[in-house]
Each structure stands twice: as structure tokens, then as C-alpha cells.
Amino acid sequence: MKRLFVIILAFFISISCSTTQKIATFKPEPDDASPLIYDNIPSFINLPITIKLKEIENQTNAFSKGVIYEDNTIEDDDYTIKVMKSAPISLINNNGKIETILPLKVVLNYRYGISKFGVSLFDTREFNLNGKVNLSSNVSLTNWKLNTVTELKSIDWKETPTINIAGKSVAITYLINPAIRLFKSKIEKNIDDAIKNSLDFKPSVLDALDKICTPSLINPEYESWLRIVPVELYTTEAKFKKENIELEMGLKCYIETLVGNQPENKFERNKIVLK
């Protein structure tokens, strides 16, 4: 996000340098009066924003840790289950959607036996399974944050251990399937929350605007200043381009040339609205 701040700041500085007008007037005598404004017309400035998918991947892995789903009650369905992330998440661009590969480790305790005539004969075995979940996410931009709507597409297991029940060999993955519909929504929400919370770029944009809206002295001899006063900030929908997510921001502002003492910074970060 620091790189985003630097890009935006450099962009505005280049605009300031290219649009500054040379003021060919006499040097005013120093005084305490308010600066004289020479230019005050509305302008629109384009702000291209690029977010690397690798950065989203790194931030998502930093946010998504620990247990994803856990069920410790064995009496209702004869098993307990714990689902954890076992390795870093991978993100790729798949036809304009984020495809997420989430490695999982599942610890399953299965209870088997009989209970008749008041006598219970049960045994419990623990199974450890490793696999990966494939998810697909639609991407949008809402209230300064990159939002996703994620759907679990498939689960691939590396192994399929079996257990003998009533003389039949039953795959443990078959017993887990009923639980998949329970932790499916947990995994989807985990990915959506990780992306949303790791990519709030509002602070970086506002910090950059605050910096470039600080009046800059463009001619010490004539005491001339350049000031940018933002009014509104617009944005397009986020779109994929190779391994980047790109969007365009447009800033409506006043670019003012002032003569006299250093003018005040008129940037009010709490009043900037993203439209």
C-alpha cells in the first residue's frame, strides 16, 4: 500500500509541474494579507490505480490463519471435525475472477460401535486428511474496499483412508461429505473477509491527497503558490489485466495559483466521498 501512496503522489507532482503557469508580474511587497488567487476553475484529474494480485495473496495469507471450521460434538453424528489451513493460499486470475487454492488439513475423530439394551460398545479412531479447496470469486469495489463474492467449487483429497463398518470398507471422505455443506460457507466467508480486510486502500489514497493538497511554493521570487483543492473522487469498476487488478479514479478539484503568503491547506479528509 506504500507503493500505491508513492505512485499517486508522483502522479500529482508531475501534473503540478506540467500545469503550473509562469506568473509574469511584479513581486508583491510582503504583507499579512490573504494570498491573491489567480486561477480558480474546476478541473478533472485521472488517477490510474493498479493492485497486484500477488499483494492480495500475501495480505490474504497474513489475515487468514488458524482453524476455519470446528465441530466438537460427537453425540449427534458420531464424529468431531477440525478444518485448518495447512499451507499458504494461492490466488490466480481465471477469466476475470479470482481463483483461490486453499490447502487444508482435516482432523476427524469417528465413533463407531453399537448401543443396545442399555449397553454401549463404542470405539473412536482419529483420521488426518490433507487436501485442497478450489474457490472462485467475483470482484467489485465498494466503499473504498475490494470486495469479493466467493463460491466453493471443489475439494480434492490427497488420500482416502477407509474404516471397516459392519463388515464393509467405507471411505472416510464419504463420512466427511455431510459436513462439507456446513463448513463450505465458513470457508467462503473466510476468503471474502480476508480479502476485504487486507485491502482497504482508503487511508493510502487520503494520505496521498493530503500530501499533494499542501500548497507548494512554485516561485520564491514572486511568492507564487500552487494549491489543489479536491471536491469529489470518482472510480470505475475494478477489472483484471493479467495478474493485476486495475481501476480508474477521477478527481474533481480546483487547481489554484496564488500570490502572497503561504495559503492554508483546504483538504478535509472526512468530507471526501468516493462515487
Angle between helices 202-212 and 2-19 (to 10 degrees): 30
Can you tell me which residue has the cell 469417528?
110
Average pLDDT across each block of 10 residues of the chain; the chain has 275 residues. List them in order. Answer: 47 45 44 56 84 89 84 81 91 92 88 66 80 91 81 86 69 73 83 82 82 91 90 84 86 88 88 75
**HSE-up of residue 181 (Cα within 13 Å, Cβ side):** 4
Clarify whether residues 180 and 86 are in a common domain: yes
Clarify whether residues 85 and 189 are in a common domain: yes
Clarify whether residues 192 and 160 are in a common domain: yes
Residue 176 lies in a domain: yes
* Residue 106 φ/ψ region, left for φ over 0, alpha for ψ in the -120 to 50 degree band, beta for the rest: beta
Closest CA to 200 of 146, 135, 164, 266: 146
Other beta carbons within 10 Å of 135: 24
Residue 238 lies in a domain: yes
Clarify whether residues 80 and 190 are in a common domain: yes
Would you call 186 exposed, middle or buried from its count of C-beta atoms within 10 A (0-12, 13-18, 19+)? middle
Q: Residue 154: enclosing H or E segment and its boundaries?
A: strand 145-157
Clarify whether residues 160 and 235 are in a common domain: no
Dist. CA 90–CA 62, nearest whole Å: 12
* Residue 253 φ/ψ region, left for φ over 0, alpha for ψ in the -120 to 50 degree band, beta for the rest: beta
Clarify whether residues 244 and 163 are in a common domain: no
Clarify whether residues 127 and 33 are in a common domain: no
H-type alpha helices, 134-272: 172-198, 202-212
Clarify whether residues 232 and 168 are in a common domain: no
Can you tell me which residue has the cell 491547506?
265
Dist. CA 216–CA 258, nearest whole Å: 10
Clarify whether residues 100 and 46 are in a common domain: no
Residue 122 lies in a domain: yes
Domain of residue 229 covers 2-52+218-271
Clarify whether residues 234 and 134 are in a common domain: no
Residue 209 lies in a domain: no
Q: What is the pLDDT of residue 203?
A: 81
Clarify whether residues 41 and 99 are in a common domain: no
Residue 42 lies in a domain: yes
For the chain, the farthest-separated pair of C-alpha atoms sits apart, in whole angstroms, at: 108
Residue 193 lies in a domain: yes
CA angle, corner 21, sides to 217 and 254, nearest 5?
A: 75
Dist. CA 170–CA 165, nearest whole Å: 7
Q: What is the pTM of this model?
A: 0.67
**Residues with Cβ within 8 Å of residue 107, at least 6 apart in sequence:** 81, 82, 84, 126, 127, 128
Clarify whether residues 88 and 10 are in a common domain: no
Number of domains in the chain: 2
**Residues with Cβ within 8 Å of residue 248, at least 6 apart in sequence:** 46, 47, 48, 49, 235, 236
Q: What is the pLDDT of residue 224?
A: 92
Give the DSSP letter of residue 14: H
Residue count (the chain): 275
Residue 128 lies in a domain: yes
H-type alpha helices, 64-166: none
